[in-house]
Amino acid sequence: MIGAIEILIVLVIFGIIYGKDAIDKTYRKRPDEGVVESLAIDVKEYYKENPRRLFYILLGVLGGLSFLVTILYYLITKTDLGRMIGMD
């Protein structure tokens, strides 16, 4: 438990340090621009800079989602979690 908290603290610190560029990039957007428009422009810039990076980001998101779905499936079927939430 203590190790998980330490890892979370380290990740938050790295997020603050390396997230500065993302925050600076966000403030350069137009004030009347919506979130979806901003995301579309960012994706277009990522693709123009390096098309492979966008592909790797997509693979990472799909891999993370499949990992979470697998863990959720395991928790529901192999443990008592299904009974606790009323699925059995």
Reading the chain (88 residues) residue by residue, the pLDDT tens digits are: 567 778 888 888 777 766 666 555 555 566 666 666 777 777 788 788 888 887 888 898 999 999 999 998 888 888 887 778 777 6
At 68 the pLDDT is: 94
Q: How far is the C-alpha of 40 from the C-alpha of 69, rounded, in Å? A: 27
> Model pTM?
0.48
**Number of domains forming the structure of the chain:** 1
What would the DSSP string read from start to end of 37-57? HHHHHHHHHHHHH-HHHHHHH
Q: In which domain, by residue range, is 21 found?
A: 2-84
24: left (phi over 0), alpha (psi -120 to 50) or beta: alpha
